[in-house]
Amino acid sequence: MVKSVNNMPSRPSHRLASDSSDRSPQPANMVVFGGTFDPIHNGHLRTAWDLHETLGYEQITLMPCGVAYHKGDAQTSMKDRSEMLKAATQGISSLRLDLREIERAGPTFTVDTLTELRQSLGNAAHLVWVVGQDAAQTLHKWHKWQQIFDLANVIVVARPGAEWPDFSRWPAKIMSDLQTFKQSAFGAVYKARLTPLPISSSQIRQILSKGGSVRFLAPDQVVNLIDQQQLYRGNHKT
Ligand code: ATP
């Protein structure tokens, strides 16, 4: 039986989850790993895998963002990013893809996505938004960031070279026991130390812009797509 860790009501939303053929049926509890994924790499994929394998979540939803207002435009088209994500996750049943943010017009706000998800999952579901430490450092700058904790829990994943954010300013309860965390519908934070892989999309873009190879930093299918489409070549910003 899931329950909230505080008395904050998860507010009903005015939005309805839109349907998409790119989405498999939505699970009752949901762990969402969002990002620009420009491109998806093995640091992302191993993190998602560890969330499944080590933390015991049945399925992890990868959700590419549309226009990340706080990070600027991606270098590749939404189509290219989603093609790479599809290729990377194909045939892996514990990873699913949700393209709602790139289908939504305008800037991507996590709080809008979580409002939709809460609406469709119901108030009791254990909903989790996953961020790496670096993203967590700037979470307080996200649009309506405090509302995120009224809608979902957050897992912060350690990332090489990054540090934990100042959790004291987060309106959330830090939980060290995973099983207790999993009982929470929203408003809780769990710090996860998973397989540390010092890989980043910007590193990949930089290598490619200099004509190098990114083999084994991303899955072969993604490397092949990058090569076929000649992505990230030339003088791109990193
Ligand atoms: P960039 O280098 O362009 O900033 P990135 O590698 O950080 O990109 P994003 O798509 O921006 O990739 O990241 C999506 C999410 O994945 C963020 O929460 C980020 O912290 C996390 N993340 C990215 N790489 C890793 C990694 N190697 N280990 C753990 N988490 C990661």
**Which is the closest atom of ligand 1 to the Cα of 130?**
18
Per-residue model confidence (pLDDT) at position 68? 59
Q: Is the pLDDT of residue 19 over 60?
A: no
The percent of residues in the chain predicted with pLDDT above 70, rounded, is: 84
| pLDDT tens digits along 31-65 | 999 999 999 999 999 999 999 999 999 999 999 99
Per-residue model confidence (pLDDT) at position 13? 30
- Separation between Cα atoms, residue 64 and residue 76, nearest integer Å: 12
Residue 64 backbone dihedrals phi, psi, to 5 degrees: -70, 140
Which positions ≥6 away from 82 have C-beta within 8 Å?
22, 64, 97, 99, 102
| pLDDT tens digits along 184-214 | 999 999 999 999 999 999 999 999 999 999 9
What is the pTM (predicted TM-score) of this model? Answer: 0.88
Residue 2 confidence class, pLDDT cut points 50, 70, 90:
very low
Residue 231 in contact with ligand 1 by CB distance below 6 A: no
Residue 155 backbone dihedrals phi, psi, to 5 degrees: -105, 125
Residue 44 in contact with ligand 1 by CB distance below 6 A: yes
> Which amino acid is located at 140 in the chain?
H
Residue 235 confidence class, pLDDT cut points 50, 70, 90:
low
Find the mean pLDDT for residues 5-12: 34
Is there a contact between 122 and 26 (Cβ–Cβ < 8 Å)? no
Is there a contact between 44 and 37 (Cβ–Cβ < 8 Å)? yes
Q: Counting every residue, how long is the chain?
A: 238
Residue 134 in contact with ligand 1 by CB distance below 6 A: yes
Please name each of the domains of the chain with its CATH number.
Answer: 30-198 (3.40.50.620)
Residue 147 in contact with ligand 1 by CB distance below 6 A: no
Averaged pLDDT score across all residues of the chain = 88
Residue 18 confidence class, pLDDT cut points 50, 70, 90:
very low
